[in-house]
Structure 1
Amino acid sequence: MEQNPEIGASVQAAGLETNYHRAGEPSAVPPALLLHGSGPGVSAWANWRLNLPALGERLEVFAPDLVGFGFTERPADAAYGLDRWRTHLVEFADALGLERFSLVGNSFGGALALSIATTMPERVHRLVLMGSVGVPFELTPGLDAVWGYQPSLEAMRGLLDLFAHDRSLVTDELAELRYAASVRPGFQESFAAMFPEPRQRWVDAMTVPDEAIRALPHPTLVLHGREDRVIPMSNALRLLELVPHAQCHLFGECGHWTQIEHAATFNRLVGDFLTRP
C-alpha cells in the first residue's frame, strides 16, 4: 500500500499524538516552525510541500498538523481556540527540545504566530506572516466560504478558485485530492466545530491587540498576494504599520497561496530572511 505523504513523524504534545514533518539539520540558525492555514482538509504537508525541501537546505524546519487538523490526534471535547492552539504548539516545541525558534504563519497560522510571539517573545527568533489573520478586518466572502465549507467536489473546486489567482493550479485532480482529504474520518467534524456562524466573531477572536503587536521585538517579514480574496491585502499593510522591525513583500498576480503560486521566490525570501546574520 502506498504511504500517504501527509503522514510524517509523531510526538506527544499537549496530550495528543501530533503528526509533523521535518527537513534540514540542526545548525547555529534557530529552527523554524511552519504553521499552516485553516482550510478544509488542510494538513501541514498540503500547505508546505513545495517549501519544506528548499527551506530545509538552509535551516532545520518543522511543520506540525495543529490540533484539530490533519493527522494529529483530535481531542474528545472538540473545543478550539487560540489558547488551545498556542498551548499545543508550544508543547510541541518543548517535546522536540526547541527552546527558541522562528515562526512562519500562513493565514490562521499567522494569528497563532502573533499570539505566541506577543505572549512569550523570548521563545521567538523571527516572524514570517503570510496572508495573515491577527489584526481586525471585516470577514470577507472568501473567508466565509472557506470556514463555511460543506463537503462536495463542487464546493472544493470553488474554494480552490478562491485560493489561487493562477487557475492552472486549480486542476480537477487537485480538487479531488483536497475533497477526499476533507471527508476523511473526523476531518469535517472537527473543522465544522471551529468556525460556526456568525463567523466574524472568529476573526475577532484571533485578533492580537495593537499595543502588543507594537511591542514585538522580532524582525518580521510580511508577505501577501495582491489578488488575495480570502484575507485582504490591507492586513499586510496594517502589520507593516504596527510591527516595529517589519519589512513587507507584496506578490502581484497572486492569491492566498504565496507559498505555492510563487514557491521559488517565497523560498528564497523566507530562507534569506530566517538565516541572515
Structure 2
Amino acid sequence: MTATTANEVDAKSTSRFVDIPGFRIHYNEAGAGHTVVLLHGSGAGATGWSNFWPNIGALAQRFHVLAIDMPGWGESSTVDGLARDHPSALIAVLDALGVDRAALVGNSMGGQTSLVTAAKWPDRVSHLITMGAPSPGPALFAAGGGLSEGLKVLMEAYEDPSPANFKRLVQIMCFDQSMATDELANLRSSAALKHPEHLASFLQTRFGGNPRAAWFGMDEKLVQITAPTLLLHGRDDRVVPYEHSLNLLARIPNSRMVLLNRCGHWAQIEHADEFNRLVADFVDRT
C-alpha cells in the first residue's frame, strides 16, 4: 500500500468491502503505517465517509486509515437493532483485514464502540480517542428527563427523513452555522434515503433495548482500559454534553481531555485541522 496525499482521497477510490460472519461491511481505506480506525456516530445517514471526510486524507499522510460503516449504516449490511453489537463487529473486521492492533477514533456512538472495545480487547487497541462520546454513568449536571435537545432532533430525522429535518440535524450538530451547509445536509440525507432498512433497524431500539443495557453495565469496567486515551469534546455540544467526557476522564486511568470552545458535536468537521493535528500527534507520540 502506498502513501496517499489529501488530494488523492475521494469516496469512490477508497471504497472497499469485507465479509465478516453475518455481515458485509463497507469501509474507506487510505494511507500506510500504523492503523487508525475512524468510527462514525449514530445519526441518520452517518457513514465513515460522511463523518470523517475532512480527516481521512490528512491522517492518511501518516497512517493506514480505515473509516468503517458499522452494521446498520452506510453501505454495510443492516442488522436487527436489538442484536446490535458494534464492538464484536469491529474486532471481526480487524481480524478479516489482518490488523492486530489499531488506534480507535470514535465520534459519539463510535466513541462508545471504541470504549467498549478498549475495555474488552485491550491487546487490540493501541490508542483510544473519542469525540463527543457518551459516558455510561449518570449525568450529574446536564438537564435530565430524557433525550438531549440534539438527540431529539436526531430521532426526528430517523422518523421523518425529510430535507428540512436533515438541515436541522446538521445545524444542531455544529456551533458554527456556516458549517451546517446544504451540501453536508444532502450528503447525510442521500445516504439515509438510500437505505431505509437502516432507518427501520435503528428505530427498533430508540436508544433502548439490549445495546443500551449492556452499555450502562460498562461503567465499572472503564477503569480497566489501559490504552492511552484522548477525550475531545465541544464546549457547545447540544447532543452529548461535555460532562460526559469529564466522567470518562475521572474513570479512565491513562487519559487526558481537550475541551474545544465554539465547537458542537462534530469536532472533526468544525475544527478539522486542529482535530487532525491532535489525533496524529497523540498517536505518534504516545
The two structures have a TM-score, normalised by structure 2, of 0.86
Report what 2:152 is aligned to. 144
Residue 205 of structure 1: how far off its partner (Å): 4.5
Q: Which residue of 2 aligns with 1:38?
A: 42
Q: State the Cα distance separating 1:214 from its structure 2 match.
A: 1.1
Using a 3 Å threshold, how does the CA distance of structure 1 residues 215 and 87 change in structure 2: closer, same or farther?
Answer: closer
Partner in structure 1 of residue 167 of structure 2: 157
Question: 1:64 maps to what in 2?
Answer: 68
Other structure's SS at 2:216 match? coil
Change (3 A) 1:91 1:198: closer
Q: What is the CA distance between 1:192 and its match in structure 2?
A: 3.1
Instruction: State the shift of 1:130 in Å.
Output: 0.8
**How far apart in 2 are the matches of 1:218 and 1:152?**
41
Q: How does 1:157-176 map to 2 (within 5 A)?
A: 157-176=167-186
> Please, what is the CA RMSD of the aligned residues?
2.1
CA distance in 2 between counterparts of 1:37 and 1:53 reads 19
Aligned counterpart for 1:9 among listed residues 16, 29, 54: 16
TM-score normalized with structure 1 length: 0.89
What residue in structure 1 maps to residue 126 of structure 2? Answer: 125
Distance of aligned partners of 1:205 and 1:215 in 2 relative to their CA distance in 1, 3 Å threshold: closer
Map of 2:189 onto structure 1? 179
* Residue 123 of structure 1: how far off its partner (Å): 1.2
Q: Deviations over 1:24-80 (max 9, x none)?
A: 113xxx4121111111011101111111111111211111110000011224xx245
- Give distance in 1, aligned partners of 2:65 and 2:74: 18
* Inter-partner Cα distance in structure 2 for 1:140 and 1:40: 16
Over the matched positions of the two proteins, sequence identity in percent amounts to: 37
User: Which consecutive residues of structure 1, in runs of 5 or more, have no partner in the other structure?
Assistant: none
SS at match of 2:130: strand
> 1:59–1:275: 8 Å Cα contact kept in structure 2?
no
CA apart distance, 1:206: 3.0
Supply the distance in 2 between the matched residues of 1:205 and 1:148 (Cα, whole angstroms): 25
* Shift of residue 152, structure 1, vs aligned partner: 0.5
SS in 2 for 1:183: helix
The aligned amino acid for 2:21 is: A
Equivalent position to 2:56, from 52, 56, 63: 52
Q: How many residues align?
A: 267
